[in-house]
Amino acid sequence: MKNFRQLDDLVLDLKGLVLVRELLRERGTDVGALETEIDHVRNRLARFVSGPKPEAAAQSCRPAATAQRRAAPGGMRPVAIQLQT
């Protein structure tokens, strides 16, 4: 979910910058600094969607981390709950 939010934020930032650039162009304002920021956000977005390099991803996948995620906090066991409809 965190990754989706980061992606969404980057896309919204880019859209907003592009819209503001168009408004400023219509008013005859110099948009040079805005162009630089648009390029910066585009590059961040491209790096984000391309994902980590394969060797970095392999290093981050450790069995110990997976085991920790499965353990419930405080040593409690998960309980199955059935909802009645």
- Residue 78 falls inside a structural domain: no
Check if the beta carbon of residue 17 is closer than 8 Å to that of residue 41: yes
- Residue 18 falls inside a structural domain: yes
d(CA 62, CA 56): 12
Predicted confidence (pLDDT) at residue 22 exceeds the cutoff of 70: yes
Average pLDDT, the chain: 76
pLDDT at position 58:
52
Least confident of 11-25, 40-54, 65-79: 65-79
- Residue 74 falls inside a structural domain: no
Predicted confidence (pLDDT) at residue 33 exceeds the cutoff of 80: yes
- Residue 22 falls inside a structural domain: yes
The count of structural domains within the chain is 1
- Residue 77 falls inside a structural domain: no
Alpha-carbon torsion angle 14, 16, 17, 18, nearest 10:
80
- Residue 49 falls inside a structural domain: yes
- Residue 79 falls inside a structural domain: no
Supply the range of the domain harboring residue 56: 2-60
- Residue 69 falls inside a structural domain: no
Check if the beta carbon of residue 52 is closer than 8 Å to that of residue 60: yes
Give the number of other Cβ atoms within 10 Å of residue 17's Cβ.
Answer: 19
DSSP H/E element including 57: helix 54-60
